């Protein structure tokens, strides 16, 4: 797809909604939960930033479900991002934070067109990734301006991370035995969506047309929202980018119980954290002491670079609590108890995969009698490169096949489903990257490639971003990514296994060229599941 073609598609899409626009500007002062906020118009977009959607989770509210917003008097400026949530940033983050992290972080942001429209606008709600220990809504690549320019109201928000977002302790259970516990990050996400439901009409958004989308930990979060009873009715469409779909990406602890032959309970991990800072017991005094531990000591160096060394005092992310997360998403999908909504899902061509295999036999051992088929599928050029083949196998097991599993399951339930693979690599990076690494689709989806690549941006990069953003916008508007002049993207059917591949030569749809790989990985997964059930 050429730049001219891509920009023509965007212009057509923009015209489709702008013809409905009235001449009057949309007001920059809005009343929401808590009081009035005043945003600002810039570069053809009206934005409102740093709006509280819950009370600051500090002091006695640390490790509690999000509480109602604290009201303010007068008009609150909404022209700058609020704090991202408490964490230890790391230098190589592809989406560096734009604010100083703090526990006082439960805020959200809204972008919309500056003109009034005759009809309510579709709403997209973004959930950032970062392994549940890093991330925030302030990075430049998450700017919602391009969505707003194409007729979508974009919302982003913060949620608690690391030990602030996922923590259990007997003292917390004793304090609030009937309250939701443990998954405070998931509770924040649900609270933000509840805020959207109550307030988004004031911004001209349609509370009955909300698409939630996220990447990596954000994609896992969307799986949880699709499978959580607490999120029922809060979203109407879903997009999952590199969020897996099976249990292997993020094994979950149980809140109170040790799992047979599995991890200890989240409460046991919480007790270990308390002991690490010199706090014993499970009474009110112990809980008060825990809530008084300085935030930096709670973080204790935890980030994406250190997660493996912190398992003893960190629950690891979402846990099965019986209220917010009743079972893992895979288990809920299999039982058919999930929300059946239009779904767009996929992964990148060089996504995350971890392999420690030292020989080809080790790489291929899981495939059993299908080892030769696996070797042909994963090393078609017969390079014999153990590291490369091992990585491909691991990537498919972690990202590619689990996404297809989720797509197949929801499609079989009757949900309209679309599958993608993002293979586009920025022209400036093609000598370094053999495919599209994890998270590199984000600046294309948001059409923020200029902020990401700066002077290295090329016309092809810009065209790829315009095309990806247009598909995501179309899906948010109608539940179908197709639009005038775009390469047709067929709905997913297991029979045809058709996907959309965002290649270096433009979007291409058709049967998945990696079907043999996906089928082999699915067979291994099925065998392991049967073995575990015995």
CB-based burial label for 381 (10 Å; 0-12, 13-18, 19+) = exposed
Q: In what order do the strands lie in the sheet with 35-38?
A: 29-32, 35-38, 75-77
- Gap between the terminal Cα atoms of the chain: 51
- DSSP class of residue 437 equals B
Q: What pLDDT does residue 259 have? A: 79
**Close Cβ partners of 355 (under 8 Å, ≥ 6 residues apart):** 363, 387, 390, 391, 393, 394
CA 532 and chain centroid, separation:
29
Identify whether the C-beta of residue 315 lies closer than 8 Å to the C-beta of residue 263. Answer: no
The pLDDT of residue 306 is 85
Domains and CATH numbers, the chain: 3-255+317-533 (3.40.50.1820)
Given the DSSP bridges, would you call strands 45-52 and 237-241 parallel, antiparallel or unpaired? Answer: unpaired
CA dist., res. 28 & res. 15, Å (int): 23
Q: Can you spell out the DSSP letters for 310-324?
A: GGGG---S--B-SSS
Is residue 462 within 8 Å of 452, Cβ to Cβ?
A: no
Structure tokens at 25: 């500007």
- What distance in Å separates the CA atoms of residue 329 and residue 346, rounded to the nearest whole number? 16
Tens-digit pLDDT string for the chain (534 aa): 554 455 455 544 554 444 444 569 999 999 999 999 999 999 999 999 999 999 999 999 999 999 999 999 999 999 999 999 999 998 888 899 999 999 999 999 999 999 999 999 999 999 999 999 999 999 999 999 999 999 999 999 999 999 999 999 999 999 999 999 999 999 999 999 999 999 999 999 999 999 999 999 999 999 999 999 999 999 999 999 999 999 988 789 999 988 777 789 999 999 999 999 999 999 999 999 999 999 999 999 999 988 765 578 999 999 999 999 999 999 999 999 999 999 999 999 999 999 999 999 999 999 999 999 999 999 999 999 999 999 999 999 999 999 999 999 999 999 999 999 999 999 999 999 999 999 999 999 999 999 999 999 999 999 999 999 999 999 999 999 999 999 999 999 999 999 999 999 999 999 999 999 999 999 999 877 655 554
Identify the sign of the CA torsion 278, 283, 287, 289. Answer: negative
Give the C-alpha separation, 373 to 393, whole Å.
13
Over the Cα atoms of the chain, what is R_g?
Answer: 23
């Amino acid at each position: 797809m050429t730049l001219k073609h891509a920009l023509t598609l965007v212009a057509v899409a923009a015209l489709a909604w702008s013809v409905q626009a009235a001449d009057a500007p949309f007001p920059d002062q809005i009343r929401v939960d808590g009081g009035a906020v005043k945003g600002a118009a810039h570069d053809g977009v009206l934005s409102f930033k740093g709006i509280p959607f819950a009370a600051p989770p500090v002091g006695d509210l640390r490790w509690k479900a999000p509480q109602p917003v604290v009201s303010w008097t007068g008009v609150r400026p909404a022209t700058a991002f609020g704090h991202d949530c408490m964490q230890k940033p790391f230098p190589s983050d592809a989406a560096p934070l734009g604010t100083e992290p703090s526990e006082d972080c439960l805020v959200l942001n809204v972008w919309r067109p500056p003109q009034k429209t005759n009809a309510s606008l579709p709403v997209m709600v973004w959930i950032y990734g970062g392994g549940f220990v890093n991330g925030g809504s302030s990075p430049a690549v998450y700017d919602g301006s391009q969505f707003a320019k194409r007729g979508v109201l974009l919302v982003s928000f913060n949620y608690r991370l690391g030990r602030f977002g996922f923590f259990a302790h007997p003292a917390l259970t004793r304090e609030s035995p009937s309250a939701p516990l443990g998954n405070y990050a998931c509770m924040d996400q649900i609270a933000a969506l509840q805020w959207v439901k109550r307030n988004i009409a004031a911004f001209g958004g349609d509370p009955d047309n909300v698409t939630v989308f996220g990447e990596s930990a954000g994609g896992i979060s969307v799986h949880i929202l699709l499978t959580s009873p607490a999120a029922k009715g809060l979203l109407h469409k879903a997009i999952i980018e590199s969020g897996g779909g099976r249990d292997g990406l993020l094994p979950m602890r149980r809140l109170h119980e040790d799992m047979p032959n599995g991890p200890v309970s989240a409460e046991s991990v919480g007790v270990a954290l308390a002991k690490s800072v010199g706090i014993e017991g499970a009474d009110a005094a112990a809980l008060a002491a825990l809530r008084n531990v300085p935030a930096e000591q709670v973080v204790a160096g935890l980030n994406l670079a250190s997660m493996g060394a912190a398992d003893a005092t960190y629950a690891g992310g979402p846990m099965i609590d019986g209220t917010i997360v009743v079972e893992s998403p895979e288990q809920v999908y299999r039982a058919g108890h999930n929300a059946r909504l239009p779904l767009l899902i996929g992964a990148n061509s060089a996504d995350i995969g971890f392999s420690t295999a030292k020989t080809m036999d080790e790489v291929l051992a899981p495939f059993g009698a299908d080892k030769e088929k696996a070797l042909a599928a994963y090393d078609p050029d017969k390079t014999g490169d153990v590291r490369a083949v091992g990585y491909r196998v691991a990537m498919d097991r972690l990202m590619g096949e689990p996404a297809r599993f989720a797509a197949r399951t929801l499609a079989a339930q009757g949900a309209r489903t679309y599958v993608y693979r993002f293979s586009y690599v920025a022209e400036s990076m093609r000598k370094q990257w053999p495919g599209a690494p994890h998270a590199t689709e984000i600046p294309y989806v948001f059409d923020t490639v200029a902020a990401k690549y700066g002077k290295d941006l090329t016309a092809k990069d810009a065209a790829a971003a315009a095309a990806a953003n247009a598909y995501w916008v179309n899906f948010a508007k109608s539940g179908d990514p197709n639009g005038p002049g775009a390469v047709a993207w067929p709905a997913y059917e297991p029979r045809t296994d058709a996907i959309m591949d965002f290649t270096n030569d433009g979007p291409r749809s058709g049967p998945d060229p990696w079907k043999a790989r996906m089928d082999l990985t699915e067979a291994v997964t099925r065998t392991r599941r049967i073995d575990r059930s015995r």
